[in-house]
Amino acid sequence: MANDKVSIHGAWASRWVFILAATGSAVGLGNIWKFPYMTGMYGGGAFVMMYLVCIFMVGLPIMLAETLIGRRGRQSPVNALRTLAIDSGASPKWSWAALMGMIAALLILSFYSVVAGWSFDYILSMGSGEFTGVSGGAAGAAFGALTADPVRLTLWHTLFMVITAFVIARGVVAGLERCLRVMMPLLFVLLLVLLAYSMTTGHFMQGFHFLFDFQPERLLDGVLAAMGHAFFTLSVGVGAIMVYGAYMPKNASIGGTILTVGILDTLVALTAGLALFPIVFAAGLEPGAGPGLMFVTLPVAFGNIAFGQLMGTVFFVLVLIAAWTSSISMLEPAVAYLVERTQRSRVLVTSVLALLCWVVGMGTVLSFNLGAEAKFFVFADDGFHLFQWGAEGGRNFFDTIDYLTSRILLPLGGLAFAIFAGWVLKREVVRDELAMKSPLLFSVVYWLIRVVAPIGVLIVFIAELSK
């Protein structure tokens, strides 16, 4: 029987708004820098092939699982899992998986806000011409000066958290939907502008070969990396896609919609690589990895090519938009849950949660400067220490939160959601929500959700813990 329930928070106007929302959640800093670099590092076309296999075998099945749970429950992830578990004759304690994902999302947002806030600083610096003709050493010093200044970091962290909370506080239709209808098309346009510009650098084919030259002997080199990135890039495991699924129109095809999201997410990542690496090569630089080098290598590249000041500004606006659309999806699950539980206004709940994330985020701000010597989980000669100042080992606050969320909570959340959809929900419920006309296609997708995706997540979980 069709599900006629409606979320109290509202609904997307169409399946395309859900696609924009889910793509906005998935597209973030990892798409714009990490994926292109990993593609070149692990064999170009060979890595792309493995990544696409992993997307279809692991990432998209879990995204399907989250979406169908959300649409069936029409509530926040915590309440959706509790209600559906009871309806299926299972323990309501399944809601704990969503609660864990919700906490993980808030913790991620706390440090994501700090790192994403750097783009504000770079928009101003790039736009003012500060990086024109800059050397690698000077760009590194500028980045070091930014991270060493807790006042500047706090300012940008605060501003980013405010704009994130502003969208969420306005609600599903007036806030999220209206923002996404503008921000996502603008993101695509800016990315295409950068791509068109990269074609004029004279190094477009060098960037193309760096990304796509197929090296069959390296086909297996990046399997674990491809599987891990396929899982993390789609923003699954925290309930963000689940709560977006709760607002999804009941007549929209989940399978076709999620496939579209996966394709768009991958196209953004590949386009970003095609746009950025020709610029890097045009400046005579070698590409590097990591978000830190996004703020060092690329400013040098943009600072030493024609029209680099303008294109560099466009790039960091693009980074800001990608981070913003991802951040709102991290806050929404907790807001939806607390609005349902407390019956308080959305504005009040959003304000309290944003303030909480801001406070936790200050730990990340201080991790780069005044609190850099504060270390957690230290294994020393005299034993284990949960916290120790000035220890040689251990992790600072930022690294600790990053490790806890990305290597433990996210994989466990994704695993729990896949198992719930594949083994707890009744088969007819899954079939009803997916509404696939082909019995064979449904059987294949159901098998991916029940068996392949959980195994893939376990592999990612073990691999991440071993790092």
pLDDT in tens, 323-362: 999 999 999 999 999 999 999 999 999 999 999 999 999 9
- Selection from 21, 63, 52, 33 nearest residue 271 by Cα: 33
Q: Which fold has domain 15-465?
A: Amino acid/polyamine transporter I (1.20.1740)
What per-residue confidence (pLDDT) applies to 1?
44
Tokens 């798409």: give the residue: 31
Contact partners, residue 372, CB within 8 Å, separation at least 6: 366, 396
Torsion of CA 47, 50, 55, 56, to 10 degrees: 150
Out of 168-182, 201-215, 227-241, give the one with best mean pLDDT.
168-182
Return the DSSP state at 395: B
- Selection from 367, 360, 302 nearest residue 122 by Cα: 302
CA separation for the pair 61, 56 (Å, rounded): 7
What per-residue confidence (pLDDT) applies to 227?
84
What per-residue confidence (pLDDT) applies to 344?
95
Domain range annotation of the chain: 15-465
**What percentage of the chain exceeds 70 in pLDDT?**
97
pLDDT mean across residues, the chain: 90
* C-alpha dist (Å) from residue 205 to 274, 280, 288: 9, 12, 19
**Distance, CA of 224 to chain centre:** 18
Return the DSSP state at 447: H
Contact partners, residue 136, CB within 8 Å, separation at least 6: 285, 296, 297, 300
Tokens 């916290």: give the residue: 387
CA separation for the pair 440, 393 (Å, rounded): 53
The residue among 104 and 231 whose pLDDT is bigger is 104
The residue among 148 and 35 whose pLDDT is bigger is 148
pLDDT in tens, 275-302: 988 998 888 877 765 555 688 888 999 9
